[in-house]
Copies of this chain bind each other. A is one copy, B any other.
C-alpha cells in the first residue's frame, strides 16, 4: 500500500469512527424534522395506515400501474389554476396565465390547464409544436427563450402568435426580417434584467442601458409591434418583500420606457419564479449534516411562503396602484408560472427494491426503484416523503434512500425516519409536478407512467416506456425494422 493510500485509510477510518460517535449526539441536538401535514396534499391515512387520495388507496395504484408511478391530483391542479386566474379582490381584472411548458410538459397535465383558460409559455420549437398540437389558440401562446429556430418563429408568426419575447438585442433584427418576409407584424416584448437581478444568458440589463437601447431598436422596426416588457426575477419569489423588489424594478423600467421612449407598455409579462410552498432548497451545511451524520433536513415552513392567492393579489395591487398614481391605465399582466402551478399537484410513488443490513452508524440503506433517473431534483431539495402504508404505532428508524442506478450520487434521501422498510414497501415523494418528468432520463431504467386521479377515477395520461421503446430509434432494432444497413 502506498503512503498516500495508507494516509487515505487512516483518514477514512478516523472519519468513520467520528461519524459513529458523533452522529447520534448531533442527531439528538439537531432541530427535529416533523412530517408536514398530509392535508397539505389532500391526503389521508385509513385505519390500516394506508395513504389515500380522494378515497383511493395509493398502494392499489402501484399494484395496478406498476412502480414507479407519477400520480397527478386533478383537483389540486385545477385549484392552483383557478387561484392563478382569479381576479383578486379589488383588482380591475385577473392576470393572464401561461403555463411554463418546460416545467411539466405532460400533455394530459397541460390539457387540464388549457381547459381552465391558461395559455402556453413555450421556449423551444418542440414546445411550440406541442402547444399547437394540443389545440392551443396561437394568440394564447407566448414564445420565449434563447433558442427559437427560424422555422419555428416562421410558424409562430405566420399563425399569429400572441407574443414573442426576444431574449437578447441580437434577436431583434432577424425577427423583424422574418416578419417582413412573411408580411406580418409580430407582437413583441424584450426580456429585461432588473437592476440587481441575475441575467446570465437571459435578457438585456436595465442598469447598463442595454434594455432601453433594445427597445429603441425594436421600435425602429415597423414589423414589430412592441407591446410587452418581459422579466423573470431570476431567483425564487417566496416572500412579499422579494416580490415587491422585483415589481419595483419592472415598474420603474416601464416608467422609463414611457418617459424616454414615449412607449406605453400594454403588457407586463412577469415570468414565473413563485415558490412551491412545500419545496425548499436544503442549505449546503444541512445537506452535509444529513449525508455525514444522518441529521434529517428540516423544511422551510410552508406558511412562510407567499401563496398563489397572496401573490396575484399583491401583483394586482402594486401594478394598479402604481398606474393609478400616474393616471395611466393599468397594463395587462402576464404570468408564466411553473413550479407554483404544477409542483404540488403531482407525486411520485416508488417501491423499495433492496434493504441492506443496518450500517455501523445504525442507518438502514434502502434502494428505491426511483432515483436520479426520474427524481433528480430531490438531491439537495426538500421534498416531503411519506410511507404509502404506515401501520399505526409502528416505530420509525433512520433510513438512507437511494435510487436503483449503479452510481454513487444516486442518493435521494440521506436521512429520513420511516417505519422499518422491507422490499416491496412503497413511498410517496411529494411535489413531483415540476422538473421531475422533463428531467427524467433512460439511465438504466425506462421512464414510468403518469396517471391522473380525478373525482376518485384514475386514468392514464402517459404510458410507461417499454423496453422496446428505448431502442425504437436504433438501426436494426427500431420500429423502422431496417436491417441496420449503411446509409452513407
Q: Which of A145-153, A312-320, A381-389 contacts B (4 or more CB under 8 A)?
A: A145-153
Do A444 and B102 contact each other (CB < 8 Å), given the known contacts A126-B467, A360-B208, A408-B198? yes
Contact at B168–A445, with CB atoms within 8 Å?
Answer: no
Report the minimal beta-carbon distance from A288 to chain B, rounded to whole angstroms.
Answer: 14
A42 interfacial by beta-carbon distance below 8 Å: no
Tell me, yes or no, whether A259 is within 8 Å of chain B by CB. Answer: no
Q: Does A46 have its Cβ within 8 Å of any Cβ on chain B? A: no
- Selected contact of A123 from candidates B365, B440, B444, CB within 8 Å: B444
DSSP majority for the A interface? loop
Binds B, one of A275-283, A293-301, A349-357: A349-357
Provide the residues of chain B in CB contact with A487, threshold 8 Å.
Answer: 458-460
Which chain B residue has the least Cβ–Cβ distance from A486?
A: B459
- CB of A201 within 8 A of CB of B168, answer no
Per-residue CB contact flags for chain A residues 446-486 toward chain B (1 = under 8 Å, else 0) read: 10010000000111111111010111111111101000111
Q: A133-B477, A438-B441, A439-B441 are in contact. Are A102 and B463 (CB under 8 A)?
A: no
Cβ distance A254 to chain B, nearest Cβ, rounded Å: 16
What residues on B are CB-neighbors of A101 within 8 Å? 444
A476: which of B107, B130, B464, B484 is its contact (CB, 8 Å)?
B107
Residue of B nearest to A461 (CB): B475
A404 at the interface (CB under 8 A from B): yes
Query: In the bound complex, what is the Cα–Cα distance between A208 and B358 (angstroms)?
Result: 12
Residues of A89-114 at the interface with B, using a CB-CB cut-off of 8 Å, are 101-102, 105-108
Q: Which residues of B contact A484 (CB under 8 A)?
A: 108
Q: Mark A181-208, 1 if CB is under 8 A from B, else 0.
A: 0000000000000011010111000011
Across-interface contacts of A462 in B (CB, < 8 A)? 473-475
The winner among A144, A248, A475 for most chain B CB atoms within 10 A is: A475
Chain A interface size band reads: 35 or more
> Considering the chains assembled together, what is the distance between the CA atoms of A125 and B405 in angstroms?
11
Beta-carbon nearest neighbor of A406 in chain B: B123
Contacts of A12 in B (CB 8 A): 196
Q: How far is the CB of A388 from chain B (nearest CB, A)?
A: 18
- Which of B167, B354, B480 is A171 in contact with, Cβ under 8 Å? B354
In the bound complex, CA of A488 to CA of B406 (Å): 36
At the interface, yes or no: A39 with Cβ under 8 Å from chain B?
no
B438 near A459: Cβ-Cβ < 8 Å: no
Q: Are B369 and A102 in contact (CB under 8 A)?
A: no
Q: Which of B130, B439, B467, B486 contacts A443 (CB 8 A)?
A: B439
A444→B124 contact, CB < 8 A: yes
- Residue-wise interface mask of A (241-254) relative to B, using a CB-CB cutoff of 8 A (1 in contact, 0 not): 11011001000000
Closest B residue to A149 using CB positions: B353
- Nearest 7 A/B pairs, CB to CB: A147-B404, A5-B245, A9-B196, A124-B444, A2-B241, A463-B473, A459-B486
A-B contact pairs, 25 of them (CB 8 A): A5-B241, A5-B248, A9-B195, A13-B196, A102-B406, A105-B444, A107-B474, A125-B445, A126-B445, A130-B467, A133-B477, A145-B404, A147-B354, A147-B405, A149-B353, A168-B357, A200-B408, A201-B356, A201-B400, A201-B410, A438-B441, A439-B443, A459-B485, A459-B487, A460-B487
